[in-house]
Structure 1
């Protein structure tokens, strides 16, 4: 019987004897006897993930990656692959980066997406560093680090030219899923995204708040002037959405990316958007006002500015947003949030996701479909229903704000 047909590495969730907590264990499964035995390599998951407070789900994914890698080794030994044959005698002691590189190249040949492979690569990097630090393998690994704010993460070990690791093309697939919301962890992820924006592109952090907590489209954000922002500090914030392209963008020949869509189908009275009264929004707002005071704007009415002092165009806003998105995804990976990372990295999403997030907040507030449509500025109905539903929508938002604020503060303060 082949080695791979006799043994398999598997992941098990095991309930602790003296409690309800579960722990993740890497097991060796004897397929002949059906006996499963904990493997000492579980120490990697315990030390690098469990001891750092990672959730059970955040421990399961790296454990599965390690098991798949170890099972790949067993298969390669069965196939008499020269690179792996020595491991049948020495065990992990002779494991080296070429084995990890071989596995990543194997995944690439089998059609895994680039983002999934980068996720695997991150786990394997941590795995090899752990093995080297504890002298479980002979190869001495030189570790280089990436630094972001107060975080330090290990650079990939497999991008070195001599390893010749094969990666998928970075070109996006035409069949990629279009994402409309951050999913079940939206409140935590919203806060993280805004915090990353404050660090990476603070000039659009307020715009992102307008999108997440007010449902504004990109074109509506960049059209906001100082006169359009009605603010009672720490109490209320309302945006008058207008078509200010002739004021803000006379220097642009094509202003299609700056078009404020709802002005095309709503009366000026209904083109007003309440921004939710959330402490984080106010922090970002006051930071933005201070930022504007340091600028020398060529257009003194603009709220969002380019580095040259002109009003920020839709294209520039997109570039800033994508810069934040890239760092945000890196941060998810660094924090071991693999489920969120996989969802958000393997789907297409852009600035318009803010509108979907805002809609789901309104659903959480238990607003009716009509109220949600009005809160989003989606439709125009007859004047009497307009007034009644507009009033009840505003009241419903105000009534539910304490609960939404509490959810946001929970993650903002962590």
Structure 2
């Protein structure tokens, strides 16, 4: 932390995350070389008065601990944001004359101790942030301290050890003497809802019908999330030929990253990435077919030059921000209807928990559970790369031996199965009409 040469008002300076593209040639030594563009994450120190950002050597933390280990741009960006928030917190505490932090004004990173990050994590906990958010920040701070320890920068070594299995740093912030406060495992009112509950079919249909009234332009998108488990970014990367429905009602979505095709006009496409390219099978029904046919009919009547399956009022591809706003309006209208119908138990479930469009993926998974799919079949039907997410939806009394059996079986199967639902299990699908 380059603070020793700064003015007394450290709040005039703030750490920030920079994302810049760089161009490179793939297969540079061959005649078939191609020019590619890749984004890189760096950390900068901003002079807020002059609005100038100076490059920080702390970027080497991102490069060493994330980029060089092959971790994606999201992991790099998330780590950089956490470190910047932590360092800006230190600036604020020095400005507020917190005696535990004053030495850092002169010692910089050399004087960093575990108690500084512990204090930060406790502060973040008191903001009522979720346990998952705080634990993620703890993970990045653990890596940061290990990086500084490895370089011999810290005056007092935190003696962070590595796990034997995967050589990942073990968090030191739960040590009793630090008294770090973490959110409880399940904070009241913050549990993320994964399904609509026992009246799922009634509520799913009411939600989709509500979307037809409020924002019909995303009714198909919502349906693909619910009946196909697609993530929001995966849905918005679909083009007009990505979804195929056969005469027999079988529906397949060709999920892949089409950012260059659809979102070249948008500067920041961080949230528009596709996590798992695949041919995703959708649970078939005449109800979905009619929604699809109506969407394509409306789309074909629009005078648009782009190929996006979902577009906004300006005839541009729909973005995450717009989709989220539309979904929220539909959700609020839907909750009002549930209350008007006096489905009080359902209303209590839906109103007291957090949920966004990703609940569609949870509903899809619970349909698969009800159809009798095994953990391996569910993971492949969801397009997962590992088994853990699917196991969350199954009996929590499942034995360790059975989990190990399923995990080994999952890794033996070919990736081409990803996104497919066993045809024999489709017969157990209770079709929504």
Displacement of 1:259 in angstroms is 1.2
Runs (4 or more) in structure 1 with deviation over 3 Å come to 380-384, 387-393
1:176 aligns with 2:190: yes
Q: What whole-Å deviation, never above 9, does each CA across 1:242-297 have from its counterpart, x for those lacking one?
A: 1001110111111122111113xxxxxxx111111112111111110121023222
Equivalent residue, structure 1, for 2:323: 317
1:286 corresponds to: 293
Q: Shift of the alpha carbon at 1:384? A: 5.8
| 2:414 pairs with one of 376, 383, 386 | 386
> Is 2:195 aligned against 1:189?
no
Deviations along 1:315-359, one digit per CA (max 9) or x if unpaired, are: 111111111101100100111111111111111100100000000
CA distance in 1, matches of 2:363, 2:415: 25
- Secondary structure, counterpart of 2:203 in structure 1: helix
Residue number in structure 2 paired with 1:305: 311
How far 1:399 moved relative to its partner? 2.4
Residue of structure 1 in register with 2:276 after alignment: 262
Structure 2 SS opposite 1:261: coil
Which position in structure 1 is the counterpart of 2:233?
219
Aligned CA distance change for structure 1 residues 231 and 388 (closer, same or farther; 3 Å): closer
Alignment match, 1:137: none
Match for residue 354 of structure 1? 360
CA gap 1:303/1:285 in 2 versus in 1, 3 angstroms: same
Uncovered stretches (5+) of structure 1, i.e. residues with no partner: 1-172, 264-270, 410-414
1 or 2 for the larger relative contact order (CA 8 Å, sep ≥6)?
1
* 1:367/1:396 contact within 8 Å kept: no
Cα contact 1:234–1:282 (8 A) shared by 2: no
CA RMSD of aligned residues (A): 2.3
- Tell me how far apart the structure 1 counterparts of residues 321 and 287 of structure 2 sit (CA, whole Å): 26
Deviation at 1:226, TM superposition (A): 1.9
Partner residue of 2:224?
210
Question: How far apart are residue 394 of structure 1 and its match?
Answer: 2.3
- 1:328 counterpart residue number: 334
Q: Distance in 1 between matches of 2:248 and 2:339?
A: 34
Gaps of 5+ in 2: 1-186, 387-408
CA contact (8 A) 2:371 2:426 kept: no
Give the corresponding residue for 2:282: 275
Q: Which has the larger radius of gyration?
A: 1
8 Å contact from structure 1 (residues 304, 311) kept in 2: yes
Question: Matched residues in 1 for 2:194 and 2:361: separation?
Answer: 8
Provide closer, same or farther for how the CA distance between residues 397 and 382 of structure 1 changes in structure 2, counting only shifts above 3 A.
closer
TM-score normalised by length of structure 1: 0.51
In structure 2, which of residues 242, 246, 252 is the aligned counterpart of residue 238 of structure 1?
252
Name the one with the larger helix percent: 1
Counterpart secondary structure, 2:427: helix
CA-to-partner distance for each residue in 1:172-202, whole Å, 9 max, x for gaps?
A: x995222111111111111110111111111
| Distance in structure 2 (CA, Å) of the matches to 1:212 and 1:224 | 16
Q: Distance in 1 between matches of 2:259 and 2:303?
A: 20
Question: For 1:374 and 1:289, how far apart are their aligned partners in 2?
Answer: 29
2:254 and 2:416 mapped to 1: Cα distance?
A: 20
| Greater mean deviation of Cα atoms: 205-214 or 178-187 | 178-187
Distance 1:391 1:194, change over 3 A: closer
Distance 1:178 1:230, change over 3 A: same
TM-score normalised per structure 2 = 0.49
